[in-house]
Amino acid sequence: MDDMTKTVPVVIPSYEPDERLITLLEDLQKAEIGPVIIVNDGSGTEYDEIFERAAKLIEAGGGKFISYRPNKGKGRALKTAF
């Protein structure tokens, strides 16, 4: 891919994710797309482990992980990322 493609950020608002989030991030890494910004939109503490794994994946590629509580909705998550 050319350098222009790599500068397009991918924003992922996330609420109570499952293992598919990790799969998506791995696929994005393989495609050399990034940086990736994930916003944890108020998921409970039971999702901390998956977000920790996700944060390690994206931060290694220059991405950013943002988290807040309580849930504020997808629109607020997108605005926070932008």
Task: Let me know if residue 3 belongs to a domain.
Answer: no
Task: Let me know if residue 77 belongs to a domain.
Answer: yes
Listed residue (65, 18, 11, 73) closest to 42, CA to CA: 73
Task: Let me know if residue 2 belongs to a domain.
Answer: no
Task: Let me know if residue 1 belongs to a domain.
Answer: no
Task: Let me know if residue 35 belongs to a domain.
Answer: yes
Confidence at residue 4, expressed as pLDDT on a 0 to 100 scale: 55
Confidence at residue 2, expressed as pLDDT on a 0 to 100 scale: 56
Give the number of domains in the chain: 1
70 alpha carbon, distance to own chain's centre: 17
Task: Let me know if residue 52 belongs to a domain.
Answer: yes
Q: Helices in the chain by DSSP H: which ranges?
A: 3-6, 20-30, 48-60, 74-81
Task: Let me know if residue 10 belongs to a domain.
Answer: no
Confidence at residue 23, expressed as pLDDT on a 0 to 100 scale: 97
Strands 10-14 and 64-68: unpaired
In this model, does residue 1 exceed pLDDT 70? no
Domain that holds residue 58: 16-81
pLDDT in tens, 7-47: 788 999 999 999 999 999 999 989 888 799 999 999 999 99
Which residues are bridge partners to 39 per DSSP? 13, 66
Confidence at residue 61, expressed as pLDDT on a 0 to 100 scale: 84
Task: Let me know if residue 32 belongs to a domain.
Answer: yes
